Structure 1
Amino acid sequence: MPTEGQAAALQELLDTHVPIAVLQTHDEKRVLALAEAVARRTQRALWAWSASNGLRALHGLKLRLVEQGTDGHPGAADTHELPAALKAMAKVEGPALVLLLDIHPYLNHPVTVRALKDLALASERTGVQLAFVAHALTVPDELQPWTATFEIEPMTPERVRTVLREEITRQRSRSGRDVAGCQRTLESLQRHLVGLPEASVRHLARLALGDGQITTTDLTRVLAAKQAQLGAAELLVFEPDLPAMDQVAGMTALKRWLLLRRAPFLDPAAAEGLPPPKGVLLLGVQGGGKSLAAKAVAASWQLPLFRMDFGALYDKWQGESERKLREALRVAESMQPCVVWMDEVEKGLAGGSAGSDDGTGATRRMLGTLLTWMAERRSRVFLVATANDIQALPPELVRKGRFDEIFFVDLPDEAARAELMRIHLGRLKVAFDEAQLATLVVASTGFSGAEIEAAAVSARYEALALGREANAAAVLAELARTKPLSVTRAEAIAALRAWAAERAVPAG
């Protein structure tokens, strides 16, 4: 059922005598219910046209077509084709509202557009108003002065709770037993269903409840299905397998910062007056664990993670790159609360700063679109951007206020290297004792987390080829053969540390 606020808002719009209202939504059933409610309270007749059913009266007895079929039904005449339906609409007596369902494929035909314009020009006199209803449409320039957009409010948390209760009751009646699962998982499911059409909410709720229990696996399936329904799946890549925060070695300051902001982000009402956390920029040495930390943020906050694919954003056609970025950001907001990860953001936005150019200006326009969204967004989308090369980052992106904080992820210190060795050697089943661990920690001085992991993996492959168990000595030999980035890129790392010393907060 439509809410009182939505019905009042649509009535207010129609009372301005706007000839054409534009409603972009997948939730056609809600539009029909909303229009029916407004028609009843305002004594408007209500009609609907679709290519499958033609023109049909939905409500009201004041409608009369001059040309009707022999049975007297308003839809008896053949109005399945839109031109015939538009001719019939021109003979409708108002006040009336005519819903044109899935009209978007017809709006590129000049004769159709002219007929719609004729109806719009006559609307003040006839009292007949039109409503374009489609999942997406572009209003032709000829009709723009006579249209107004009406936003269908998304499913609210309260309405989603009601639908979930109904579906849980349905599942209980069908199976004869209660639905199992913890309250926390159920609350996460509810959060992720907000914003979808009601039909989709019911479908995804049944998908999750089908086996009689609600688990984190169900959440992953629901999120993947929600992303597919919203579109832009190639622009925002859903990352299903997330590491726990205890898989991230070191970064004590970053972990504490995130811990303090978890509750206010997930429950804004509990932190009334505080602005919601917006995001962080993780700057540092390649292989230092920035990407792992970005993934762990989502896991520790129990939120979905979406990686923005800049490669998929860029398009050869003028204006398409910016449109794709806006679409990706729209989908991210529809998935809230969530974490959006922009990996190696400097590569995606290279050429976006003043004085540099990619030849088309697309990068500068994309940067402007992103900065505007970052400044104006009110949604619970937490942005984690990672970068290796500060010189390639547009200065507009790193100024104060774009991110809540800029953290510098340096090469791991002794304690972090010991933690990394325990994590990777344990995962790869490499035998070691405490004395050997101390030796490995010293030998890995100057190594990044990725280089330490690579040494452990290589040692395991070597042992597998020789048919023996991997041990600490094999890892030590791999470390000795490796020239880490701290050696091969010593000057670049020194410059990065010098920049971060004055401008960033150490993550460790």
Structure 2
Amino acid sequence: MNFETQLKLLLLSYNSLIYIVTEEEERLEYVIQNLSHEIFNSSICCWNFIDGYKNNPNYTQQGARNPLEALEIIESSELKTTKIFLLKDFNNFINDLSIIRKLKNISQILKKTDKRIIICASEIEIPKLLKEYVTILDFPLPNEKEIQIELRKLLKIIDIDESYVQELALIYKGFTIERIRKSISRFLFIQENKSKILSSILEEKKQLIQQTDILEFCGTKNNLQDIGGLNNLKQWLKKRINGFSKTAQQYGIPYPKGILLIGIQGTGKSLSAKAISQEWKLPLLKLDIGKIFTGIVGQSEFRVRKMIRLSEQLAPCILWIDEIDKAFLKSNNYTDSGTSNRVLSSLLNWLSEKQKEVFVVATANNALQLPPELIRKGRFDEIFFIDLPNVHERKNIFQIHLKKIRPLSWQKYDTEYLSKITDKFSGAEIEQVIIDSMFNAFHEKREFTTKDIEISIKGSTPLAYTNEIDICQIQDWAYSKGIQLA
């Protein structure tokens, strides 16, 4: 059900107090004005703290800098034509006891007089005393179709080839209409080709996401060929590469939900998330799960809702939740007044029920600390365990790294021998011994050799030895639970 249909139903069902979350006041006002004309054949009356009431000559400038007076005007209004009062940024005053009491009183009067109050704000701030009286709605950012309509309007002014309006609309997902207008208007003054325009918009999008302080836009050039081993995971991903396509929808396939990658540090979990983004040609959003948790009561829940809303607005995309085990340790539930439980509950509900084209890649190092409800079937399409690479995979990893740094001479290195003497080394540790050998040879002003890598290997102690007990426990857990090997 789209936003307009939801709001129309609320207006017709006598919901007297509606709270809409948005940063697009102008666009929301336009939508509400159209609905008011359609349902009630009347205009809306708008209020803001500085100007007071507008759009109605009977109340012009009344209630300015006085939110209580603004409500009293609605309460005493005898106008039969005005049915909707839009109060902008009223969340800044809604925690005042007099405002709370007035809203409670007025809610009964509104039902009798067939009037409605709509509060629009950029954040949800509703006191407990009003939760039973208020209905909350999210006003979504413009979808692809709405963006295309806006772009075609701008095409009349700006000379942009119609053939890539769809491409522009896709890359502008996550922008407000006002941001799109400002972004496009810049191209009036600069002459750039198509690729530079798209790169410029992508950079804007990156900055926009960074400003949320929750998600990070990750550019990547890694693909699945850059990962040694993990053949089961690669095959699984290749079968779902077109999972978000219209053809897949017509076939009746549900959108792929996501995967949980559990494994030892340095085995390629993060690299896999980046490679999926590159392989599927979808933007990668990284969630620092630690940023969800703040010291202010209620803010953690708000931030997880904001993360969900933003990732869905940017769909189709890959959402990478890195080291999810650190945020939802079993012990946290007893030490943080239930915040972890509430955040986890919101996240799990979304993972189970989401309908948008957001593919979640969650990574975890310590499976033993994960809450059981996170790993039950239905949250993710599949759970993969990434173990330490075997001898064949280690040979492949050596070859991948050596091809990158010595594309013309990589074959002179004895990767067969090196793979045999690196038992229990992770992919990251193999990369590090190559780098270490290069530094040693560079210091001596010569080319590095297989012997240099061998010396670095013998001087390194892998994590599998220093943290042997913990790693064995994780391996035992994965094999005993029958977790799919990557």
The answer to whether the superposition gives a TM-score over 0.5 is: yes
CA contact (8 A) 1:220 1:240 kept: no
Partners in 2 of 1:19 and 1:366 — Cα distance? 30
Which residue number corresponds to residue 203 of structure 2? 221
Which residue number corresponds to residue 121 of structure 2? 134
Counterparts of 1:55-454 in structure 2 under 5 Å?
Answer: 55-57=53-55, 65=58, 74-75=59-60, 79=64, 81-89=66-74, 90-96=76-82, 97-141=84-128, 143-168=130-155, 170-172=157-159, 178=161, 189-194=168-173, 196-205=175-184, 211-214=192-195, 217-218=199-200, 220-228=202-210, 231=212, 233=213, 235-267=214-246, 270-351=249-330, 357-358=334-335, 360-429=337-406, 432-434=410-412, 436-454=414-432
Partners in 2 of 1:17 and 1:395 — Cα distance? 43
SS at match of 1:172: coil
Write out per-residue CA displacement over residues 38-81 of structure 1, whole angstroms, 9 at most, x where no aligned residue. 333323243212233322235xxxx7x4xxxxxxxx52667454
Partners in 1 of 2:335 and 2:72 — Cα distance? 51
Matched, 1:484 2:462: yes
Partners in 2 of 1:57 and 1:247 — Cα distance? 60
Stretch moving more, 47-56 or 454-463: 47-56
CA contact (8 A) 1:171 1:212 kept: no
CA contact (8 A) 2:51 2:61 kept: no
SS at match of 2:10: helix
| Distance verdict in 2 for CA 1:223–1:169, change over 3 Å | same
Partners in 1 of 2:81 and 2:454 — Cα distance? 85
| Distance verdict in 2 for CA 1:22–1:310, change over 3 Å | closer
Write out per-residue CA displacement over residues 472-507 of structure 1, whole angstroms, 9 at most, x where no aligned residue. 322221112222234444554444444333512222
**What is the CA distance between 1:449 and its match in structure 2?**
0.9
Stretch moving more, 158-167 or 243-252: 158-167
Question: What's the C-alpha RMSD, in Å, of the aligned pairs?
Answer: 3.3
| Distance verdict in 2 for CA 1:316–1:337, change over 3 Å | same
SS at match of 1:104: helix
| Distance verdict in 2 for CA 1:448–1:342, change over 3 Å | same
Partners in 2 of 1:240 and 1:319 — Cα distance? 32
Write out per-residue CA displacement over residues 433-482 of structure 1, whole angstroms, 9 at most, x where no aligned residue. 44633333333343211111101111122223223333332222111222
CA contact (8 A) 1:432 1:471 kept: no
Aligned length: 478
| Distance verdict in 2 for CA 1:397–1:100, change over 3 Å | closer
Q: 2:444 aligns with which of 466, 478, 499?
A: 466
Write out per-residue CA displacement over residues 338-389 of structure 1, whole angstroms, 9 at most, x where no aligned residue. 2222223222211269xx7346443334333332222222222211122232
Partners in 1 of 2:221 and 2:334 — Cα distance? 36
Write out per-residue CA displacement over residues 106-146 of structure 1, whole angstroms, 9 at most, x where no aligned residue. 22333344444454333245444322122224244555554
Partners in 2 of 1:375 and 1:168 — Cα distance? 41
Q: TM-score, normalised by structure 1?
A: 0.82
The one-letter code matched in structure 2 to 1:288 is T
Partners in 2 of 1:404 and 1:460 — Cα distance? 41
Write out per-residue CA displacement over residues 242-298 of structure 1, whole angstroms, 9 at most, x where no aligned residue. 422221122122111111112013447545422211111222232111111111111
Stretch moving more, 160-169 or 429-438: 429-438
CA contact (8 A) 1:428 1:460 kept: no
| Distance verdict in 2 for CA 1:188–1:386, change over 3 Å | farther
| Distance verdict in 2 for CA 1:360–1:77, change over 3 Å | closer
Identity among equivalent pairs (%):
27
CA contact (8 A) 2:47 2:70 kept: yes
Partners in 2 of 1:9 and 1:408 — Cα distance? 42
CA contact (8 A) 2:286 2:322 kept: yes
Which residue number corresponds to residue 483 of structure 2? 504
SS at match of 1:94: coil
**What is the CA distance between 1:205 and its match in structure 2?**
4.9
| Distance verdict in 2 for CA 1:458–1:220, change over 3 Å | farther
Partners in 1 of 2:398 and 2:275 — Cα distance? 19
Partners in 1 of 2:158 and 2:87 — Cα distance? 36
For structure 1, the 5+ residue unaligned runs are 66-73
The one-letter code matched in structure 2 to 1:409 is I
**What is the CA distance between 1:85 and its match in structure 2?**
4.0
Matched, 1:47 2:45: yes
| Distance verdict in 2 for CA 1:421–1:168, change over 3 Å | farther
CA contact (8 A) 2:273 2:320 kept: yes
SS at match of 1:288: coil
For structure 2, the 5+ residue unaligned runs are none
The one-letter code matched in structure 1 to 2:55 is A
**What is the CA distance between 1:432 and its match in structure 2?**
4.5
The one-letter code matched in structure 2 to 1:30 is R
| Distance verdict in 2 for CA 1:415–1:38, change over 3 Å | same
Structure number, greater radius of gyration? 1
CA contact (8 A) 1:242 1:298 kept: no
Matched, 1:26 2:7: no
